[in-house]
Amino acid sequence: MQTSYPRRDIKVLLLEGVSASAVENFHHAGYSQVELHAKSLPEAELKARIADAHIVGIRSRTQLNEDVLAQAKRLIAVGCFCIGTNQVDLNAARKLGVPVFNAPYSNTRSVAELVIAEAIMLLRGIPQKNALCHRGGWTKSASGSYETRDKVLGIVGYGHIGTQVGVLAESLGMRVIFHDIETKLSLGNARAVSSLNELLERADVVTLHVPETPATQMMIKREQLARMRTGAMLINASRGSVVDIGALAAALRDGHLAGAAVDVFPVEPKGNDDAFVSPLIGMDNVILTPHIGGSTLEAQDNIGIEVASKLIRYSDNGSTLSAVNFPEVTLPEHPNSRRLLHIHRNVPGTLSRINDLFSAGNINVDAQFLQTDSEVGYVVIDVSADTQQANGLKEQLAAIPGTLRSRVLY
Ligand SMILES: NC(=O)C1=CN([C@@H]2O[C@H](COP(=O)(O)OP(=O)(O)OC[C@H]3O[C@@H](n4cnc5c(N)ncnc54)[C@H](O)[C@@H]3O)[C@@H](O)[C@H]2O)C=CC1
Ligand SMILES: O=C(O)CCC(=O)C(=O)O
């Protein structure tokens, strides 16, 4: 059946080495035009390539800001093949009628396991012992080496990852405290503390699991580091913007902190061939990892399947279920109808204009699903019409003032 975008004409642009499982999923669903890049692209190239892409898939590195999105005239949807969506201007995407999807749980366990491993390594002083052995040195000593048992782990951001870290830490005998801006159900024996400061003052190891938001920008800077216990350790596998990295380097240098593990940085290389620069380089008591908290084969495989499935479902049947920036509509199939979708600015009178088209054309509406937020309205209409009528209706829908996107799905 001829739709306004047959699958073979839909161009899928996948960046940053998105898993092969995503590519397979697209191919399996009939999307043959899949372009895969191992890295994120420089902005000028990104703008050029995104111009004719219908679906774009990224990980944490690619910045889809308003300017870049403005070039993407054909864009239907964005997939973040990760948890964080701070790299996309979600509001700009929404106003352009572009839903954004992510994989909110697929790499949770991978991050939690890495954080626990790092807590053990830091408490034992392994990074510096390992570095010394590599240089031909030898310090067989228990000094500065501790068991995890009975140590206090402070979790900042008690969400999906934070809670998993807490559960695993308790199984090692750690005492878990947490701070979150929301009231959270404590798992196991974990206890909420009254403030970030209290957590910093009590914890032997502090681990950060907040998203990047205006409130978490530089949440941990000189003042907060100074509140941490002398000899405490900091783990950051959240976002590089959460910690003042210069202040962290200073706190490690002057011995206030005994160690740190950092997976995310204010500026990260675009790809594996680019140089990594950080004030933490050369510090033996710091574990540096290249933003691989979620990089396990299991997680990447699952993320590839999950996000590609969401993008395909939206492209095929219009479901925006679990979109992070868009009115959520989930739709039963009506195989004997033609399905049209219309995304518009949410101004009074749009729905009646849409419905007037069907009455004027004497077209029977079999089902209609509308969901709006303050700025955007999303309506899916199943109609009894032939292909020619459906394509004609699509053109008429596109001409309604305030239209952002319109399509015939089937
Ligand atoms: N290093 C890596 O490879 C990975 C990093 N991440 C990062 O980890 C972050 C957390 O992931 P999830 O646990 O899945 O997210 P989540 O949304 O389940 O949990 C985040 C928690 O932080 C809390 N929070 C938000 N603002 C806060 C504030 N100002 N102060 C205290 N708490 C605050 C929220 O209420 C929520 O409970 C992601 O947003 C992402 O940036 C996620 C996956 C992999
Ligand atoms: O694996 C990636 O590229 C990003 C992981 C991450 O930071 C996330 O899922 O938010």
User: Active-site residue among 109, 209, 239, 342?
Assistant: 239
- The pLDDT tens digits for 219-273 are 999 999 999 999 999 999 999 999 999 999 999 999 999 999 999 999 999 888 8
- The pLDDT tens digits for 181-223 are 999 999 999 999 999 999 999 999 999 999 999 999 999 999 9
**Which residue's CA is the nearest one to ligand 1's atom 2?**
293
Pocket (CB within 6 angstroms of ligand 1)? 83-84, 107-108, 111, 156-162, 179-182, 209-213, 215-216, 237-239, 263-264, 291, 293-294
Distances in Å between the Cα of 124 and the Cα atoms of 146, 207, 231, 403 are: 5, 17, 12, 60
Reported residue count of the chain is 410
**Which residue's CA is the nearest one to ligand 1's atom 6?**
238
ipTM over 0.95: yes
Q: Are 144 and 168 in contact (CB under 8 A)?
A: no
In terms of phi and psi (left: phi > 0; alpha: psi -120 to 50; beta: otherwise), the region of 287 is beta
**Which residue's CA is the nearest one to ligand 1's atom 39?**
211
**What's the token pair of residue 69?**
């999105």
Q: Are 63 and 85 in contact (CB under 8 A)?
A: no
What is the model's pLDDT at position 335? Answer: 82
Mean of the per-residue pLDDT values for the chain? 96
Region 34-53: mean pLDDT is: 95
Q: How many CB atoms lie within 10 A of CB 282?
A: 10
Residue 333 has pLDDT above 90, yes or no: no
Closest listed ligand to the CA of 160 = 1
Q: CA 39 to CA 210: how far, in whole Å?
A: 25
pTM for the model stands at 0.94
Mutate to test the pocket of ligand 2, among 18, 82, 289 (most ligand atoms within 8 A of CB): 82
Instruction: Please report which confidence band the pLDDT of residue 53 belongs to, taking 50, 70 and 90 as the band edges.
Output: very high
Amino acid identity, residue 347? V
